[in-house]
Structure 1
Amino acid sequence: MVERMVSLSVGIMLATSLLHALPEAFESKADNHTLFAVLLGGLLAFFVLEKFAILRHSHHHEDDGHGHHHGHDKKEAGKAGWMILVGDGLHNFTDGILIAAAFLADPHLGLITGLAIIVHEIPQEIGDFIVLLNAGFSRTRAYVYNLICSLMAVVGGLLGYFTLERGMEWIPYVLVFASSGFIYIAVSDLMPQMQRRATLRETIPQILLIGAGVAIVLFLTRHAHHH
């Protein structure tokens, strides 16, 4: 089920970025060269953020020959759990701002952006929940902390709505930055996961689900243009 969600989210995220959010931004009065610079900066920023996340998550295992005292790695896993929560909270807070920007630009774009984020978040939240359990959190604590992190999207959404409403000229740049995140996540994170399942039996559903994701965005976009 998680693998299916990953394939669907690739289609939705790429289509939302390339067929809806980026055209919306470039059709605005914003300078095209600046928008492309924001797109480049966004892609590089997400690359750097992911580098820090990878460095943060790499830790030793017990009895790995590094001579740590017993219990060292359990403590390190606990630290990793807290760092994941902080990172996830900031990520959700940013998602809230991006959804607010999309809604202010075009309510239909807001709905599609929200859908893209939700579809991507489901497998990610499941993964985070498992990591928290491995880090020594109880099921209840892992669930509660994950829920608190998810609510950061609401805080970001409210802040984004009231802040960007006063500075509408910033919305195209926020949309481009959001698109750079969607494209980076789809191409560098989700697609490599899918490439590990290389058999024809696994590839055909992946392609169909990517197509379904694109079709959903196209349907919603055309529906928006008819109203």
Structure 2
Amino acid sequence: MKELILYSGFAGITVLLGGILAYYFNHHIKKSPIKYEITHTMMSFGAGIILSALALVLIPKGMEELSLLPLAFSFLLGAILFMIIDQYLAKKGGKVATLLAMIMDFIPESIALGAVFATDKKVATLLAVFIGLQNLPEAFNSFRDLIQSGYTSKKTFVIFFFLSLFGIGGALIGHFLLSDYPNLTAHLMVFASGGILYLLIQDIVPESKLEKNYLTALGAIIGFLVGIIGEKVI
């Protein structure tokens, strides 16, 4: 049990670490074209990481357990629900798409981590590292989005602190409640995938583009490569 808390705690603490990095980056790095490029590259890198989680972990695991109709239903339900949430937030003037995407893949992956831990600790360890790596750029971008939406740094750090605990909670749920229900876990993963893909296409990818700069797109390629490496090692 201590090991599970340790692994899931590492996966979650990078949420807080990403916020800290974003805070110091915003306050201690002067405004310049290079800073702007770094910001967009991090956003692009995060998009690549999120896409790799969807394409290499969430969807494949869901397809292993679900038949076509349940798979399609959960996927579309996730996309439609987050479209509705995104429309509501847009009317409020908020910029929390990256935060939603982070939560959408963080929670089901943490649950999967807990479910896998009982049978293969090596895979669980590598999965925790993979989750932690993708949370870092996502939290970096989410912190900046929340600040731009009017949140104070203190309030944002409080949000990130509690989000960092989601990994432990999700892993414990997966370990104790869902280990014997692979179909339910698969539905959760596919549902999350639909929402993630919607947010990527609608909000995150368009905002990561920088006019007259083509190197920032490589951030997404590198981010996806990180996912490939993580999946290959696992």
Q: TM-score, normalised by structure 2?
A: 0.66
1:22 counterpart letter in structure 2? I
Contact 1:12/1:210 (<8 A) preserved: yes
1:48 maps to which of 84, 99, 114 = 84
2:187 maps to which of 158, 168, 173 = 173
SS at match of 1:198: coil
Contact 1:92/1:152 (<8 A) preserved: no
5 Å-filtered alignment, 1:119-198, equals 119-133=137-151, 137=152, 139-140=153-154, 142-144=156-158, 146-148=160-162, 150-152=164-166, 154-195=168-209, 197-198=210-211
Say if 1:193 and 1:128 are closer, same or farther in 2 by CA, change over 3 A.
same
Shift of 1:167: 2.9
1:209 maps to which of 207, 219, 223 = 219
Shift of 1:94: 5.8
1:98 matched to 2:112? The reply is: no
Count of residues in correspondence between the two structures: 187
Shift of 1:122: 1.8
SS at match of 1:7: helix
Contact 2:111/2:172 (<8 A) preserved: no
The structure that has the greater radius of gyration is 1
1:222 matched to 2:232? The reply is: yes
Contact 2:111/2:170 (<8 A) preserved: no
Q: 1:36 maps to what in 2?
A: 72
Shift of 1:210: 1.3
Q: Which shifted more, 149-158 or 32-41? A: 149-158
Q: TM-score, normalised by structure 1?
A: 0.68
2:51 maps to which of 6, 9, 14 = 14
Q: CA RMSD in A?
A: 3.1
Residue ranges of structure 1 left out of the alignment (5+ in a row): 59-79
Q: What whole-Å deviation, never above 9, does each CA across 1:156-178 have from its counterpart, x for those lacking one?
A: 44445433235333111111122
Say if 1:160 and 1:52 are closer, same or farther in 2 by CA, change over 3 A.
farther
Say if 1:154 and 1:51 are closer, same or farther in 2 by CA, change over 3 A.
farther
Say if 1:194 and 1:93 are closer, same or farther in 2 by CA, change over 3 A.
closer
Give the % identical residues.
20
SS at match of 2:192: helix
1:119 counterpart letter in structure 2? P
